[in-house]
Amino acid sequence: MTGPDAGDDPVEIDCRELPCPRPVIELARALPSVAVGGLLAVVARDPAARHDVPAWCRMRGQEYVGEEAADDGAPRYVVRRLS
Amino acid sequence: MTGYLDTASAEPLHPAAREALLAALERGYADPRRLHHPGRDARLLLENARAVVAECLGVRSDEVGFTASGTDAVHRGLLGLVSARRSRGDGVVHTAVEHSSVLHAVGWRPSPAHVAVGVDRDGRVDPEEVAAAARNPGVVAVAVQAANQEVGTLQPVDDLDLPDDLPLFVDAAAAVGRVPLPRRWSALAASAHKWGGPPGVGVLAVRRSARWTTPFPGDDGLDQPGGFADVPGALAAAAALQAVLADREETAARQHRLVERVRAAAAALPDTEVVGHPVERLPHLVTFSCLYVGGDELVAGLDRRGFAVASGSACTASSLEPSHVLAAMGALTHGNVRVSLRRDTTEDEVDAFCSALVECVTEIRAGAGL
């Protein structure tokens, strides 16, 4: 489906050092700062984020775009605000 | 015992087991292989235990043995089926939501022919997908649990259409004493402390028609797999199983209704999802996940309010990895709680738990500023 591209730079939140469930809490807090249709990226090393960011999107009616790697190699999970 | 809601980890000792255990500790100390009187006494108790468990499982006495634990029974059962087919390959097809003891047994001998079959959102495996994977070259055994230990979903084991010569291993630890068991299997494992027997007693059943050889040092029999039998433990396990099965349907119906109340209370919480199949499930168990809440905080908060529950969240695991079951289902892994009822859990206790849960989740979310 759609992936983040150069013209569509996501807002990034750094949750590298935060334990579960903090990355998802920060994601929920940051979402209102993104325009509907815009992208938000969570960088998190916590292994639960890989499952919980997509689950959060499903439960909250947002779109999970996919996982990529941040510049330092940390997993980065991209979300599109739908509402 | 009020407030203890973690019987899926360990059921308190059943009164029938306590009685049998105390009597057998006096009488069953000798080596059942000896021909002297105390030895023959111990042999009698052991054979009695095998006969009772065999009847409960619908098999013959010589198809049942007692092991050191449920994990030990799983390892011996599954690896024994694989060992007997060594010349044809080493691959095992299994569901992605098997108990860790099954996954560890599979991983013990890595093979390119191993296949983990995924599950749907309810944690149920598709029997056709398992059957298709089972036809891959190099596959010598299939492992499908009777019921899932974390979310309670029953697996469609009897719907599996496997090649005639391919053995099926069933981990029935979560299901024995709770629901009718699958009928079609080659080897089956269970664990006594999950039904109110003593800890340290596993049950391994292997059908005579199945090809099975011990995967560990020792004889190829089920008489005393793993060494000197715990005769009192085996007898107590058998007594508990018999007692539990005598009123299984009545207990299950009551627990099913009580679990329905917990499911409704959890589903009514904002941003909370109940996981596991709503109908095809174990009667006594329910699992749910709450957004923005740490599983460890939830377990601690409920413990302070007098309720003991388990959690599949990463922060409650020694590995720091979230539950592989929740992950395979695509369920939320944080804020996870598994509630499993005792046989004597009351409606009042369940209602008090539901109030404590609402209080606890609300408090933790407020603390996080949500």
Classify domain B15-246 by CATH number. Answer: 3.40.640.10
Q: What integer pLDDT is reported at residue B155 of this predicted model? A: 98
Residue ranges of chain B whose pLDDT lies below 50: none
CATH number, position A46: 3.30.110.40
Q: Looking at the domain assignment, is residue A32 inside a domain? A: yes
CB proximity B330 to A under 8 Å: yes
What's phi and psi for B339, nearest 5 deg?
Answer: -110, 130
Catalytic residues of B: 315
C-alpha A11/C-alpha A5 separation (Å) is: 13
- List B115's β-bridge partners, or say none: B93
Element (H, E) at A63: strand A63-69
Q: What are A50-67's pLDDT values in tens digits?
A: 999 999 999 999 999 999
For chain A, first and last CA: distance in Å?
19
Q: What are B173-202's pLDDT values in tens digits?
A: 999 999 999 999 999 999 999 999 999 999
C-alpha B229/C-alpha B277 separation (Å) is: 38
The DSSP output letter for B321 is P
Q: What integer pLDDT is reported at residue B226 of this predicted model? A: 86
User: Could you tell me the residue range of the domain that residue A51 belongs to?
Assistant: 11-80
Whether A20 sits among the annotated catalytic residues: the reply is yes
R_g over Cα of chain A = 11
Tokens 């090649």 label which residue? B163
Active-site residue among A4, A11, A16, A20?
A20
B365 CB-near residues (< 8 Å, 6+ apart): B292, B293
Structural domains counted in chain A:
1
Q: Looking at the domain assignment, is residue A44 inside a domain? A: yes
pLDDT category of residue A8 using cuts at 50, 70 and 90: low
Tokens 């634990």 label which residue? B69
CA distances from residue A51 to A23, A66, A77, B80, B233 in whole angstroms, order as listed: 12, 11, 10, 35, 41
Element (H, E) at B111: none
Nearest CA in chain A to B293: A21
pLDDT category of residue A1 using cuts at 50, 70 and 90: very low
- Strand ranges, E, within B144-271: 168-171, 187-191, 202-206
Q: Looking at the domain assignment, is residue A64 inside a domain? A: yes
CB-CB neighbors (< 8 A) of B334 in chain A: 20-21, 24, 48, 52
pLDDT category of residue A6 using cuts at 50, 70 and 90: very low
Number of C-beta neighbours around residue B226 at 10 A: 20
The DSSP output letter for A77 is E
- CB-based burial of residue B201 (10 Å sphere; 0-12 exposed, 13-18 middle, 19+ buried)? buried
C-alpha B324/C-alpha B330 separation (Å) is: 10
Angle (CA) B267-B268-B272 rounded to 5° is: 50
CB-CB neighbors (< 8 A) of B313 in chain A: 20, 48
CB contact under 8 A, A47 and B322: yes
CA distance B345 to chain A (A): 31
Which of B156, B146, B154, B208 shows the shortest CA–CA distance to B181?
B146
User: What was the ipTM of the complex prediction?
Assistant: 0.90
Q: What integer pLDDT is reported at residue B353 of this predicted model? A: 98
> And the tokens for B187?
């080897």
Q: What are A10-41's pLDDT values in tens digits?
A: 899 999 999 989 999 999 999 999 999 999 99
CB proximity B271 to A under 8 Å: yes
Q: What integer pLDDT is reported at residue B315 of this predicted model? A: 76
Tokens 């024994």 label which residue? B80
CA distance B7 to chain A (A): 26
Q: Looking at the domain assignment, is residue A5 inside a domain? A: no
Does domain B248-367 fall into CATH 3.30.1300.10?
Answer: no
Which of A24, A48, A58 lies at the smallest CB-CB distance from B292? A24
